[in-house]
Chains A and B, each alone.
Chain A
Amino acid sequence: MPAAFRVHGAVKSYAGARALGPIDLAIEPGTTTLLLGPSGSGKSTLLRLLNGLLQPDSGTVLFDGEPPTLRSRLRLGYVIQGGGLFPHLTAEGNVALLARWLGWDAARIAQRMGALAELVRLPLEALQRHPAQLSGGQAQRVGLMRALMLDPPALLLDEPLGALDPVTRFDLQHDLRDAFARLGKTVVLVTHDLAEASFFGGTSVLMRDGLVVQRGPFADLLHAPADAFVARFVQAHRIEAQ
């Protein structure tokens, strides 16, 4: 199943102030794309245009040739910082919410649940807990399971590692990369962290003030910065890393 995004001249404004665009972007099936940039650069807005949570003021956003609808979100996994779990449901209830609503039988849900727990390396007993009783890393893993439950061809992640401590973050980074490699899905991941971008590889899209500044393999950002801003952005992160 393909999962391609096409963005043509998309513009989004909030209260008259332009937050994004115009943006042109093509994301091919099965690739990993990292949306990079400082806060306020429009990365999260772009991600929400991709799954239709936001509508562009002008221009078009297409998912497999059509504007994303409520229905197409069933084929678009979405993970936010902290997991975005519903506190009234157990981890298991969160993961299975959509499948139950669609009428999957218990055996199919249990089977899929087991496979996903293994994929994201979540201990099975954690599935019976409520979100308040999960650690930050566990909640994020459950959030990932929920996004993957229907086996969607595309996965959108908004700063999925943002709120985690360094050790948990390191573990989850590796698990995420392995999962992406095994699943072969179209992945779009938002981060403000350059190290994360270099770790995941794929195509980097560096944004500033709602516009794409440079697009290409991560190494290009380092070795062939498109302008002074890209060079400064890369430099700032290097100093921080040292």
Chain B
Amino acid sequence: MILLALLLLAAPVRVGSKQFTESVILGEIVRQSLERAGIPAVHRRELGGTRVVFEALAQGQIDVYAEYTGTIAQELVRGTAAEGLRARGLRMSEPLGFEDTYAIGVRRAVAERLGLRSLSDLARHPEVRLGLSNEFMQRTDGWPRLRAVYGFAEGNARGLQHDLAYRALQDGSLDATDLYSTDAEIRALGLRVLADDRRAFPDYRAVLLYRADLPEAAVRVLQRLQGAISADAMIAMNARARLDRLPEEQVAGEFVGAPNQQGEGWPIRVLRRTGEHLFLVAISLGAAILVAIPLGMLAARRRRVGQVVLGATGLIQTIPSLALLVFMIPLLGIGARPAIAALFLYSLLPIVRSTHAGLLGIAPELREAAEALGLPPWARLRLVELPMASRSILSGVQTSAVIDVGTATLGALIGAGGYGQPILTGIRLADTGIILEGAIPAALLALLVQALFILAERLLVPKGLR
């Protein structure tokens, strides 16, 4: 029993965060608070949107993350929040102290010209160009609720990525967007937050959601954060991260009183991501080779089966990569596994097709010559047909490898890490330097893969075929 308890204690608490700065900072605050209390913790950051992170919590892939009461009531559970959460084996902390509600911010110049003070004013001016985040457009407590309460017309809002909306506001191509009341940009961009005069938005007080099986010691640490973060403190931390471009680790470190949290240096960071990226590519590509070459052989030998196999693998290729990744979440959860599964499926077609084409491309008289020698089918395949098709097969594997290296960057969207992580973070923080930290190694890796295949061709393709 004691041993079991020790083992449970030794497993680190897994803290999750959504894909926006405040959530990442709160995740870091939780992680560092746990560590300071001597409880090992890891932060699986920027896992995705609300649905992804909540499901990850409900399915036990993370143990705790920061959520907002309005989101819980409107989006995540039916009935009252406490009952709904209990039914899924989850608990909710008391509020952390600040409210981060939805709000609509208008460029000050536009607001003054039109005399906009409240959302009711805004509803009377359909010419105001609204750019809303995709999540806000979809959520029942977002745009649909605003339209129902204030009677906005459908046509005057466009959906786009949240961080891009801020840039569009900056250069004047948008007039208004949805934002969070603790956003650092409210001050930085000089936006006017319109009053929610008809109380359309519910309460959005920040709380922590955690699993009921979280050890007591960890729960006590979470309780110490209740009421500890004021709205001003949160806005200041958001500004530190977004405007001063400090790493979230450091911002959170200042808050919990451990200001030396520097995060990793960039060489370590790039090295770790290279490891994650190579892991995704190597496993998915290796599995694809093992499956696709026999499938290609089967397709070449039996025409009917071949049409089905080529059709099915071709169909997979037409699914947008983002959609395929999201399909995998209910099946395999978040992290490396669903990403590997999606990359594996993507890698099949080029290899199946090149194996099929390589085998069918063998001159009929040579195939007959092999048959006339008296070699049984498997020996013919191994000694004659596969070596003659090797060049074509290898080119298919190369295509798959290059596709994999590129597509694996999307794995970061579902928590698989890799070079996509800094690209996402960079977009979120509008920081080109961070984007390049992912983009340059990804490009270099693609070049390296090309070079490796030139080498592989020397080793694997028989000299007489080159």
Chain B residue nearest to A152 (CB atoms) is B374
Q: Is B371 an interface residue (CB 8 A)?
A: yes
Binds A, one of B167-175, B179-187, B380-388: B380-388
Q: Is B379 an interface residue (CB 8 A)?
A: yes
Q: Is B455 an interface residue (CB 8 A)?
A: no
Chain A residues lying within 8 Å of B365, measured Cβ to Cβ, are: 80, 82, 84
Contact A97 B373 (CB under 8 A): yes
Q: A residues 69-109 with Cβ under 8 Å of B?
A: 70-74, 76, 78, 80, 82, 84-90, 97-98, 101
Cβ contacts A122-157/B at 8 Å (1 or 0 each): 000000001110000000000000100000000000
Within the complex, the shortest CB–CB distance from A121 to chain B, in Å, comes to 22
Chain A residue nearest to B465 (CB atoms) is A88
Return the contact of A88 from the options B374, B379, B462 (Cβ within 8 A).
Answer: B462
Separation of A131 and B465 alpha carbons in the complex (Å): 10
Q: B residues 34-53 with Cβ under 8 Å of A?
A: none
Contact A98 B374 (CB under 8 A): yes
Q: Is A26 an interface residue (CB 8 A)?
A: no
Q: Is B376 an interface residue (CB 8 A)?
A: yes
Binding site of B, secondary structure by majority: helix, strand, loop or mixed?
helix
Contact A97 B376, CB 8 Å, known A80-B368, A87-B464, A88-B465? no
Contact A97 B372, CB 8 Å, known A87-B465, A88-B462, A88-B465? no
Q: B residues 347-401 with Cβ under 8 Å of A?
A: 365-366, 368-376, 379, 383-384, 387-388, 390
Chain B residue nearest to A69 (CB atoms) is B374
Chain A residue nearest to B388 (CB atoms) is A88
Contact A53 B372, CB 8 Å, known A86-B384, A87-B388, A88-B387? yes
Contact A86 B374 (CB under 8 A): no
Cβ contacts A46-60/B at 8 Å (1 or 0 each): 000001010000000
Separation of A51 and B371 alpha carbons in the complex (Å): 10
Q: Is B463 an interface residue (CB 8 A)?
A: yes
**A residues with CB within 8 A of B:** 51, 53, 70-74, 76, 78, 80, 82, 84-90, 97-98, 101, 130-132, 146
Q: Closest 7 A-B residue pairs measured CB to CB?
A: A73-B374, A130-B464, A84-B369, A88-B462, A78-B372, A74-B374, A88-B387
Could you write out 29 A-B pairs with CB less than 8 Å apart? A53-B372, A70-B376, A72-B374, A74-B374, A76-B372, A76-B374, A78-B372, A80-B365, A80-B369, A80-B372, A84-B368, A84-B369, A86-B366, A86-B370, A86-B387, A86-B388, A87-B366, A87-B465, A88-B388, A88-B390, A89-B387, A89-B462, A97-B375, A97-B383, A97-B384, A101-B375, A101-B379, A101-B383, A132-B464
Other 7 A-B pairs with CB < 8 A, given A51-B372, A89-B462: A76-B372, A80-B369, A84-B368, A86-B387, A87-B464, A97-B373, A98-B374
